[in-house]
Every structure is written in structure tokens, then in C-alpha cells.
Amino acid sequence: MKIALAQLNYHVGNFENNTTKIIEQISKAKADDADLVVFAELAVSAYPPLDFLEFADFEKRCMEAINNIAIHCQGIAAIIGVPTINPVLEGKNLFNSACFIQNGKIKSIVNKTLLPTYDVFDEYRYFEPNRKFNCIELKGKKIALTICEDLWNVEDDPLYIHSPMEELIKERPDLIVNIAASPFDYKHAKQRKAILKRNALQYHLPIFYVNHVGAQTEIIFDGGSIIMDADGEVIKELKYFEEDYFVLDTNKIIRDAKNQAQNNKQQTLSTKPELIYQALTLGIRDYFQKMGFKKAVLGLSGGVDSALVTLLACDALGAENILPVMMPSEFSSGHSIDDSIKLCNNLGIKTELISVKDIYNQYLNSLKPLFKELPFNVAEENLQARIRGTLLMALSNKFGNILLNTSNKSELAVGYGTLYGDMCGGLSVIGDLYKTEVYELCDYINREKEIIPENILTKAPSAELRPGQKDSDSLPDYEILDKVLHAYIEQRKGPKEIIGSGYDEALVKRILKMVNTNEYKRKQFAPVLRISSKAFGLGRRMPIVGKYLS
């Protein structure tokens, strides 16, 4: 039996686009004499559709789309992910389903059993879990058809009581097909392979695994669909961060597995910076394309964060579609302008300069009757940031350029940012990168030649909102700060655990208090492109007025 894997970039709710892509791949698989073509989880609607699933019209359009696709499955079978309606009154209205289509009709529907409700996942909000277990059959082969999380209960500390494969294996299937929507983080591809290998070894079956690729707002899918033999050897790994397609005869899994696996051993996972670079450029590109935008605007300060975002946006959208704006104040250093100009020259980008000095002084004059003789403090500092934010939003409104935010994760974590100022933006590009990771990514970008000027990378970080200001005036050293933040945010360690690992008690309590008391700022922040296992936004839900650690 010849099986085709179709790894595609879908668009949530864009039924015409998604249906067209699926039908095109069905035709391609037919031309390649495939017997079965496999698509990803919720391919018809794209993932995650979220509360669109609560609209009866959305549910109806999903079913209309899958029925339209079925007409094209003549002489070939297909497995396609789609939300389907629960025919009984009990439970949730929908299932997360895989439709098995043959001879122009939906022959059977397999529903997802294990519904994740952690991090960015909230599937039990919408779907009823499966309770019936049957393999599907094609050309004399039994297929254990599973959906994403259904294969993840083989870990040493399983999250679920029941395992779908423990039921399906009773029917003695010949192979496993898993359709997935497995989001990217820089460690996840390695973990995903380990889970698939564990299933292959435990059940002694080859696996055909199909993932999404592309970004849906903050969630990025990296692709990496896999064919694995019963010994857990990778027979074929599809591309990362690109659409891809591959056909394999199941007979070759047995006959040529060892030779193909040996060839695939040369394919290694990319380094962390390379993975992050690919993810962020894809995230920017898809956000703009799927929202119908073309051009971006951003503030270019002469610092490392705005330099990195400028480069990523340039690579994702093209130099002609980027407008970096320099907005110096009386506290800005001369080298900040020089460094920004050098960066733009390296990238071939036109830049603009708007001085905020006079505007700032006008604001101070207007506020003088109220501020009186009170000393200069954070109010005057933040005023500069808000003026810059207002100017950038004005350019966004006038020309339709989407404002890209340049705040990093370290700043967002401890509240080192100004609401309605440098926290403005339609999309946060590096809000899931700690400051130390920003430098790591810049070093990767400069690995062959200097693109980001060296002075930007070596000078002390500063917001330049008062004379001689440095980030270190208000924050711990980033090398220490980021490690404490990672332990608290990604690893969910409490203060006692972090202090016990060797960090100063007063410092840890100070950092964690800053994180918790600034939750209100993050609730008003732009969507953050997710590259870690715990990003701010959809996957991290914290109370604003909680007392813990305050």
C-alpha cells in the first residue's frame, strides 16, 4: 500500500483556502498512484479554531467542506482532520475527528480520545472525548488511526488514565497513523520524535505521522512529519517550517528500512538559534499574509532588541516592506543613531528620523502646573516612551503598516516596559526570548558576516530615558535574571526551590514579586510569537490580583 503524507499550512476558518489545498494534494497523490493520502488534525478548519467552534454556522461549514472534499476521493482514500457534530444529546456538541474517506464517501469517523487542556491547548472546552475504539481497514491492512495527543500517554508519568493504543492494539493493526497539530517550541521536535519512537517500540508497529506547518497568530507549527519503522528508526522526515509532501510504499518499510534509516541519520535537528530564527520569520510572514497585511513599522532605538526585530521583519517581509523609525530624545546617545543607520544600510532598508525632543518639552510645559517642582522620575521617563508609541501608531494608522513590538521576555516578565509606549504593537516578535537569548540569536545571525553592528551587541543595554541610564540600574544582571525567570516561568519552580539551587534569597523574592505584580501589563500586551514551552499569552494564565509571592 502506498501512503502519501501531505504537510500543509492551513488558515483558521478559511474554508476555501484549506479545501483547495487539500483537494490539490489528493489529486497529486492520485497521480502518484497512492492508495491513501493523510492530512493533519483539524485540517479543514485549521488549528486552533477556538470559540469559532461555538458557532453553528462554523460547524456547518466544516461539514460542507469535508463533504465537498470527499467527492474528489475517487480511486484514492484519505484521512482528514475535521470537527464533527456529536449525534447524541449527552456531552459536548463536537468531536475532534479524523474522517476516513473512500470511494467519494466518509466511510468512518475516528474521534480523539485524549483532549489536552494544558499550555496553549483547551480542547475539552469544545470536544467530547472518544469512547469507542476500532481500527480502519484499507487494502487488507488494519490501521490504528489516532489523533495527536492519543499517542502521548506512553511517558513515564502519563497524564491520562486510559490509552487509546492499548485498546486499538487488541485488533492487531498493521500500522499506526497519527494526525497532529503539534506546536513548535525549540525543544519539542526532539521530544516528539522520542514519543513516536516509544510508541513504535512498544507496539512493534510503523508510524505515519502528519503535522501542521505555519503560524496561527502566536502559535507556530514546525511540520517535521515523520515515517518511522517498527524499530523506531526514521524512514523519512519531512521538512521543517515548509509545506512538504511524500509518498512511501509500506512494503519498503520492511525491505529498505535499515538502508533508508542509515541515510536519514545524517539529518540532524538544527541548533536552538536556527530553529528560533526559522520559527520567528515564519510567524511574522504568516501573521501578515493571513491577516492581509504587507508592511510593518517599528521603532529603531539603536539597541539590540529593535535591531533584531528589524532584521527578522526584513527577512520575513522584504526590505521594501519595513519602515524603521528612529526617535531620539535629548537623552539619546549619538552612537544609537549611527548604529541604527549602519544596520539599515546593511539590510538595504530606508529609515526615518523623528526627533521627540520638542514634543517632549511641550508635554512637560503642559504638565508643569500639575507636576510643579516635583523631581524628575519614572513619569518623565515613560512620557518619552508614550510619545514614541503615539508617533508609531500614527504612522500605522496613516499608512496601514502594522506596528511590530520589540520588547523581550525578560522585560515583559519584570514589567520593564511602558504601557501605551514601548509596549505598543500588533504583534510581539521577540516577547518569548529572554535577553540572553536575544544576544544568542544575534550571534547566530552574525555568524558569517556582521549584519547587526558589533557596537549594538557590545554596549550596555539602556532605555536612554534619563542621563547615563543603564538597564542594570533597575534590573539584576541578565545572566542571573534570565536563569531565575526561566526556573519560575518555564520550569514552574517556587521561590524555595530556586533559592535552594544557589540564588540569593532577597534577589529571588524581588524578581518573582516583579513578575507577579506586572501581570496587568502583560494582559494588555500584543500576541507573542511562541518559541518556548511557556510563553506569555495564550498558554500562561495567571491572576492579576493574586497574593502569591507579593
Q: Which positions are annotated as active-site residues? A: 41, 112, 148
- Picking from 281, 293, 295, 297, the residue whose alpha carbon sits closest to that of residue 425 is 297
CA atoms within 13 A on the CB side of 182: 30
Q: Which bin fits 135, alpha (ψ -120 to 50), beta or left (φ > 0)? A: beta
CA-to-CA distance for 295 and 307, rounded, in angstroms?
Answer: 17
Place of cell 516578565: 413
CA-to-CA distance for 177 and 198, rounded, in angstroms?
Answer: 15
**What CA dihedral angle connects 359, 364, 370 and 371, to 10 degrees?**
140
- Picking from 66, 137, 75, the residue whose alpha carbon sits closest to that of residue 106 is 66
Helices (H), 348-477: 357-371, 378-399, 409-414, 435-445, 454-458
Question: Quick one: 381 exposed, middle or buried, by C-beta within 10 A (0-12, 13-18, 19+)?
Answer: middle
**What CA dihedral angle connects 391, 395, 401 and 407, to 10 degrees?**
-10
Q: Which three cell numbers stand for residue 481?
A: 535574571
Do you find a cis peptide bond into 48, omega within 30 degrees of 0? Answer: yes
Find the radius of gyration of the CA atoms of the chain.
Answer: 26
